[in-house]
Amino acid sequence: MKPIYLDNNATTQVAPEVVEEMLPYFSQFYGNPSSMHTFGGNVAMKIKEARAKVADLIGAQAEEIVFTSCGTESDSTAIWAALRANPGKRHVITSNVEHPAVKNLCEYLARNGYRVSYVPVDKKGLLDVDALYSKLDDETAIVTLMWANNETGVIFPVEKVAERVRKRGAVFHTDAVQAVGKLPIHMGENEIAMLSLSGHKLHAPKGVGALYIRKGTKFAPFLLGGHQEHGRRGGTENVAAIVGLGKAAELAAAKMEEENTRVKALRDRLESGLIQAIPNAIVNGDLEKRLPNTSSIAFEFVEGESILLMLDEFGICASSGSACTSGSLEPSHVLRAMDVPFTAAHGSIRFSLSVYNTEEEIDLVIEKLPPIINRLRKMSPFWNQPAGVCRTTV
C-alpha cells in the first residue's frame, strides 16, 4: 500500500530526478574529487555545479556554501565557529522552541561555562523580538534562531533580527532547515552571517546538508582534516548525495511557486475540513506567519500517539510533535513554550505536506480522522468533563 505521506517535516521522498542524477556517481564516476587525474577532476566539477545550484536557491554566492552531513552538523558547526572565533565572548542567545539540534547544544554550553539566554514566544509561537534585543550585550558571541519551526511551521523574523544583531557586534545564525525550499530566501539582501540547511527536508537524500557562511565571517572549522571545502570541513565529500542536493535545490527553486499555492491550498483544505468535522480541534501557532505546508492541530482530550496508530492502519503518516522527540510521551517543548494546555498539547498532530500530495489523499484523511477522534474521545477520561478538571492535571 502506498502511504499517504503527510510527514514531510520529518523527512521527504527523494525526488526521482534526484535519484537519477545521483546514480552514476556511485558506479560510474566514483573518483575522488581531490585526485589529480581527470577522472577525479570531473567529479570535482560536478560538486562545483551542485554548489552553484544550492547557492542559487538561497540567493548566495557559491563560495559561501560548505557541504556538511546534515542539518545538525551545520548547526553545530555554526555555533562552535562563532564561539571559537570570538573566545572572549561567552554568551549565546537562542529561543525556547528550537529543534534539538540547537537546543541540546545550547544546554551543553550552559553546563560548560557559557551563559545562554532563551527568548520566549507568545501563544501563537511568535518570537518576542523586544525580549531578544534586551538580552544582547557586549559578551554576546552568537544569536541562533530558527527561520521556521519544525512543529508548527511558525516563521521568525530572522532577517530583521539579523541586522540588529550584526550592529551589536554578534554573529547571527539561523537554522533554516525547514524554511529552505519552502520560502524565498535571498542572502544577498539580508545580514544573516550563517544559515543551516538539510538535504532530506527538500527531496534530496539523508546524509547531506550545507552551511552558508557569509564572506568575511570569522570561522573555525568543526571537522579538522583535509583541505576539502577550502579547509572549512575536512573529509572526503559524499559526492552522490551532494550531486543529489544540487539537483533537489534546482527542483525546489522551480517548484517554490507550487509549494506556496497548490500545497498551501491542500494544507488549508485539510485544516478546514478537520476543524469543521471535529469539535475542540484547534490549530497551534499563528495562522499567517507560517510555512505553507505545515499544520499542527490539537485534538483536545485524546492522546496523539493513539491517533497516529489509528491513522497508521489506513497508511496515513503524520507526527505528534517533532519526529525526533516522538518515542517519549513528554508534551513537546515547543507547544509547552506556547502555553498550549496539557490536554491539547498531548493530542496535537503535525501534518506536513509536499508537492507529491494530492487532493484525493487529503480528502481521505478528512474522511478517516473524525471517526478516529470520536472513538478515542469515548475512551478518554478527560472528555465531557468541565475544562477546568483536566487543565489542572499538569
Residues lying near ligand PLP in the complex (CB under 6 A): 70-72, 99, 101, 146, 150, 175, 177-178, 198, 200, 209, 324
Whole-angstrom distance, CA of residue 248 vs CA of residue 355: 13
Q: Give phi and psi for 14, each to the nearest 5.
A: -70, 125
Indicate if 324 belongs to the active site: yes
- Residue 31 beta carbon to ligand PLP: minimum distance, rounded to whole angstroms: 27
- Residue 72 beta carbon to ligand PLP: minimum distance, rounded to whole angstroms: 3
- Residue 107 beta carbon to ligand PLP: minimum distance, rounded to whole angstroms: 15
Query: What is the CA 52 to chain-centroid distance, rounded?
Result: 22
Range 41-48 contact pairs with CB under 8 angstroms and sequence separation of 24 or more:
43/239, 46/239, 46/243, 47/237, 47/239, 47/242, 47/243
- Residue 372 beta carbon to ligand PLP: minimum distance, rounded to whole angstroms: 26
- Residue 75 beta carbon to ligand PLP: minimum distance, rounded to whole angstroms: 6
Nearer to ligand PLP, 116 or 277 (CB): 116
Instruction: Give CA angle at 217 (156, 168), nearest 5°.
Output: 60
Query: What is the CA 64 to chain-centroid distance, rounded?
Result: 20
CB 338 within 8 A of CB 331: no
- Residue 178 beta carbon to ligand PLP: minimum distance, rounded to whole angstroms: 5
Helices (H), the chain: 16-22, 24-27, 38-57, 71-85, 100-111, 129-135, 158-167, 239-258, 264-277, 304-312, 333-337, 342-345, 359-379, 387-391
Whole-angstrom distance, CA of residue 347 vs CA of residue 331: 9
Q: Which one from 70, 106, 317, 324 is the annotated catalytic residue?
A: 324
C-alpha cell at 61: 554566492
Give me the helix-helix angle, 71-85 and 100-111, nearest 10°: 30
Nearer to ligand PLP, 240 or 366 (CB): 240
Nearer to ligand PLP, 172 or 382 (CB): 172
CB 262 within 8 A of CB 355: yes
* Among 170, 159, 86, 176, CA closest to 135: 170
Q: Which residue's beta carbon is nearest to the bound ligand PLP?
A: 71
Total residue length of the chain? 394
Nearer to ligand PLP, 102 or 251 (CB): 102
Whole-angstrom distance, CA of residue 285 vs CA of residue 303: 19
- Residue 272 beta carbon to ligand PLP: minimum distance, rounded to whole angstroms: 25
Nearer to ligand PLP, 156 or 382 (CB): 156
Residues pairing with 43 in the sheet: none
Nearer to ligand PLP, 209 or 331 (CB): 209
Nearer to ligand PLP, 150 or 284 (CB): 150
Residues labelled catalytic: 324
